[in-house]
Amino acid sequence: MRIYLSFVSLLLIAIQAASQRLQGVSDDDLLQLIKEKDKLIVLFTKPNCNVCDKFDAALESLQDDFKKHLNAVTVKTENSHLARLYSPSKEPALVFFRHGVPLLFGGEPDENEIYGFFEKNQSPAVKELSDKIFEHITQAATGATTGDWFVMFYGASCVECQRLHAVWEGVGATLRGRINVARIDANLAGAATAKRFQVTKLPAFLFFRLGKVYRYELPKNDIKSFVIFAQDWYKNTKGETVPLLASPFDELVDWCVIMIKESISYGLHILSEHPWIWQIGVAGFGLVALTALIALFKAGKPKPARDNKKDKKSK
């Protein structure tokens, strides 16, 4: 009887332990979960990784709380090809998806820190800006009464920009309530703003404070480096005066210059592709010039004297 009870106890312990383990999923399953679940917590892990094991243990203890209080499902995936999309340093990476928007956790594998961070950031922290609202929202050049702004300029075709989406959300979550964190599409809705601040390479990170703009040019693109820059390190870079918005006349002049340059470039391209057009053009110009010279010659030739014989006879 005792042996039977011991066996049952061990079986219950094993079942309980198994139920506490994180569910492992494949990349295909993970993509489907990201689409289906409003809130999803994912641990990207790899074998023989002590830090990964610590995160795994912390999440096993927290997954019931996540489900009960955040209505979030917790899973893990090993050696995932998707890890690079959400963390430049790859595994271990802990990502919280809120309606598909990823948030990278940049702290230590501490249960209290993880739960507190995710509980406070159940909604996205990064604001989306555009040309139409940039100056009104940030007031970068007109007083900065809305506070400091840290803005990421990105492009839809920029692979590195996509990989930093979760990182930038992590920056926004860490600085929430102290510094505004936003992003703007430099190729589409924010093309004029990117031109205004001479953004030519993506991704680009600009910090706006009290009428000055500071460019983030450090080699590391991780949450900690971005946060340190916005809090204090920006003082070590040269601040530039925020340029004023271009007037309609300035925009018209810029548009005319661009059209002229494009027209000249297109004309030279056509001539290089079809040299006979150049020959016809030269011949036509020569004909016009010759016609003009003949007309000028005729206009300058003296008129013949009038015949006065009739006048003499009449006298």
Specify the CATH number for the domain of residue 206: 3.40.30.10
In the chain (315 residues long), the average pLDDT of successive 10-residue segments reads 46 41 96 97 97 97 97 98 92 97 97 98 97 96 89 96 96 97 98 97 97 96 97 96 71 47 53 58 56 60 52 46
What counts of helices (H) and strands (E) characterise the chain? 13, 11
Q: What stretches of 78-212 show up as alpha helix (H) in DSSP? A: 83-86, 111-120, 134-138, 159-163, 165-174, 191-196
Rounded-to-integer distance, Cα 211 and Cα 140, Å: 6
- 259 with 236, same domain: the answer is no
Q: Are 127 and 176 in contact (CB under 8 A)?
A: no
- 155 with 209, same domain: the answer is yes
pLDDT of residue 89: 86
φ, ψ at 102 (rounded to 5°): -85, 140
Task: Point out the domain boundary residue: 222, 241, 260.
Answer: 241
pLDDT of residue 143: 74
**Assigned domain for 90 exists:** yes
- 132 with 53, same domain: the answer is no
**Assigned domain for 99 exists:** yes
Task: Point out the domain boundary residue: 64, 97, 120.
Answer: 120
Sheet containing strand 127-129, edge to edge, reads 127-129, 180-185, 149-154, 204-209, 212-215, 240-241
- 141 with 227, same domain: the answer is yes
pLDDT of residue 196: 97
Beta strands in 20-174 (DSSP E): 23-24, 39-45, 73-78, 93-98, 101-104, 127-129, 149-154
**Assigned domain for 305 exists:** no
Of 199, 191, 182, 203, residue with least CA distance to 240 = 199
**Assigned domain for 264 exists:** yes
Of 102, 134, 88, 128, residue with least CA distance to 243 = 134
> Tokens 């494949």, residue?
26
Rounded-to-integer distance, Cα 252 and Cα 285, Å: 33
- 133 with 234, same domain: the answer is yes
Of 228, 235, 246, residue with least CA distance to 141 = 246
**Assigned domain for 188 exists:** yes
**Assigned domain for 297 exists:** no
> Residue 182: helix, strand or coil by DSSP?
strand
pLDDT of residue 157: 94
Question: What are the residues whose beta carbons fall under 8 Å from the beta carbon of 239, sequence distance 6 or more?
Answer: 209, 212, 213, 214
What is the model's pTM?
0.74
Radius of gyration, alpha carbons of the chain: 35
pLDDT of residue 13: 36
- 89 with 175, same domain: the answer is no
Rounded-to-integer distance, Cα 14 and Cα 20, Å: 10
- 155 with 183, same domain: the answer is yes
Task: Point out the domain boundary residue: 212, 241, 270.
Answer: 241
Number of domains in the chain: 3
- 143 with 208, same domain: the answer is yes
pLDDT of residue 301: 56
- 110 with 131, same domain: the answer is no
Domain containing 256 equals 248-291
**Assigned domain for 304 exists:** no
**Assigned domain for 220 exists:** yes
